Amino acid sequence: MNAPTGRLGGELTLPYPYLLFLGGTTEASYAKTAFGLADWASDRCTGEWGIEGCSVSTGLPRLSPAEARAAGARAMVIGVANQGGVIDQAWIPALVEAMDAGLDIVSGLHAKLTSAPALVEAARRTGQRLIDIRTPPPAIPTGTGRKRTGQRVLTVGTDCALGKKYTALALHRALVARGVDADFRATGQTGIMIAGGGMPMDAVISDFEAGAAEMLSPDAAQDHWDVIEGQGSIFNPAYAPVSLGLLHGSQPDVFVVCHDPTRTAILGMENFMLPSVEEVIDLTIRLGRLTNPAIRCGGVSLNTFAFAPEKAEELMAFERERLRLPVADPVRGGAAFDALVENILA
């Protein structure tokens, strides 16, 4: 049996501009959907909104749903990616307020918007839509392991929520700027909202994870690159299954390890220590060889957001020397990031 060769059909059409909803978030890592849209689709965002207790901000104007609607917004996007992807009951009044103001609700959570009776009633009353992004396409096949044509780079991580999406987007932009034929392949709700299509990997039944990844990145011209957004981490006790299915189905030629040097434990699981970059490289190669014996590490993407520029450069230089690999922060860019891109293409 051959892996699917056709492209994913259709593009996702969402009502924008967006008002980004932050809920009551106090930890920036749990607002990665909001930050991703603010950073990579800022032209589609009018502002942000949160409930009492919210201490996180994307830097966009703070607008109520009515103010956002007056400014041209058409939908409020739930910008929170909490553990389990649940709808917090404390959000319901704000979501209803948004619909009363004339905004559709867009969600990438696991829990469906239609699972909340108050939202269903508000949608019926106002005529506004409840739009769930995390819905896989029908008829996903099981994985085959067949080697596909084309080139693939996958971002992997020492943990979740530390830069895999940003790295993949930055790599895709850099490849296109070099004249390389490349596609960004989104695998999470935020990436799908940015790209207008993709595969919500963590909403796929486990038996079909590898097949979904094959479907996402089909046969292509030999000089074409698919830049595949990673999910979770093979070292994360909660999310390792989706990471492994994506690795096997993507069968990447190259992978980039994403790491946050300020983190010592798995996010939300403080009893599990963060693996080292070397451990991730070793295990990714050993597991990835199942579907691509030639898999290699292209380098390391270091999230240096918490460091001053001089300290960040010093840290990247130290890691570069220690690992004998290109190490860069894709957000900072520069010569270090150029070297990472060149090593991927080598």
Q: What is the pLDDT of residue 11?
A: 54
The CATH class of 18-132 is alpha beta
Find the farthest-apart pair of alpha carbons in the chain and give their distance in angstroms, rounded.
62
Cis before 136? omega within 30? no
Q: Using the predicted structure, report yes or no on whether residue 8 has a pLDDT greater than 70.
A: no
Across the range 52-79, mean pLDDT stands at 97
pLDDT tens figures, 195-227: 888 999 999 999 999 999 999 999 999 999 999
Q: Using the predicted structure, report yes or no on whether residue 1 has a pLDDT greater than 50.
A: no
Percent above pLDDT 70 for the chain:
97
Q: Using the predicted structure, report yes or no on whether residue 7 has a pLDDT greater than 60.
A: no
Q: What is the pLDDT of residue 273?
A: 97
Across the range 228-239, mean pLDDT stands at 96
Q: CA-CA distance, 131 to 148, in Å (whole number)?
A: 34
Q: Using the predicted structure, report yes or no on whether residue 286 has a pLDDT greater than 90.
A: yes
The CATH number fitting domain 151-345, selected from 3.90.700.10, 3.40.50.300, 3.60.110.10, 1.20.120.1200: 3.40.50.300
Instruction: Supply φ then ψ for residue 270, to 5 degrees.
Output: -65, -15
3-state secondary structure of 150: coil
> Which residues in the chain are classed under CATH 3.40.50.720?
18-132
CA distance readout (Å), 345 to 73, 138, 175, 281, 301: 40, 34, 9, 18, 16
Across the range 267-283, mean pLDDT stands at 96
Give the contacts of 14 (CB within 8 A, at least 6 positions apart). Answer: 75, 106, 131, 193, 196
Across the range 79-95, mean pLDDT stands at 93
> Which residues in the chain are classed under CATH 3.40.50.300?
151-345
Q: What is the pLDDT of residue 161?
A: 87
